[in-house]
Amino acid sequence: MLGRMKCMIPALLLVSPAFADPPEVVSAARNGTTLGVTLNHGDTGWDHYADAWEVMLPDGTSLGIRELAHPHVDEMPFTRSLRVPDLPTDGRVMIRARCTVTGWSDAVLFRLN
């Protein structure tokens, strides 16, 4: 019995949410002072979903966070918007996404049109 359990432990670790992929920032588009961001993530339900994205200046200064109130299991990729009055005139912003399991992803640099 103990030998069989030792074999199961590594298999259980492979399906653990701790090894889940972070949310991916697919694209971003400006419409005046509104920023639309498209995310892709393997949402599985309330226990594991992309729950926010943040827009920042290249120096790391936060311009705003868009909280996501529910999972999007059957809606991938999906786009949500945020009014960001201080978008830089050169259009360079960094965007990162967060999920309930892996936390914040690495920021992605965009040049908005």
Residues 71-98 have a mean pLDDT of 91
Identify whether the C-beta of residue 107 lies closer than 8 Å to the C-beta of residue 95: yes
Q: DSSP of 13-70, one letter per residue?
A: HHTSGGGPPPPEEEEEEEETTEEEEEEE----BTTB-EEEEEEE-TTS-EEEEEE--S
The pTM for the full model equals: 0.79
pLDDT-derived band at 104 (thresholds 50, 70, 90) equals very high
Residues 3-17 have a mean pLDDT of 46
Least confident stretch, 16-25, 35-44, 62-71, 78-87: 16-25
What tokens appear for 32 in the block? 């005046």
pLDDT-derived band at 55 (thresholds 50, 70, 90) equals very high
Domain 21-111, CATH homologous superfamily name and number = SOR catalytic domain (2.60.40.730)
Phi, psi of 59 (to 5 degrees): -85, 0
Identify whether the C-beta of residue 45 lies closer than 8 Å to the C-beta of residue 73: yes
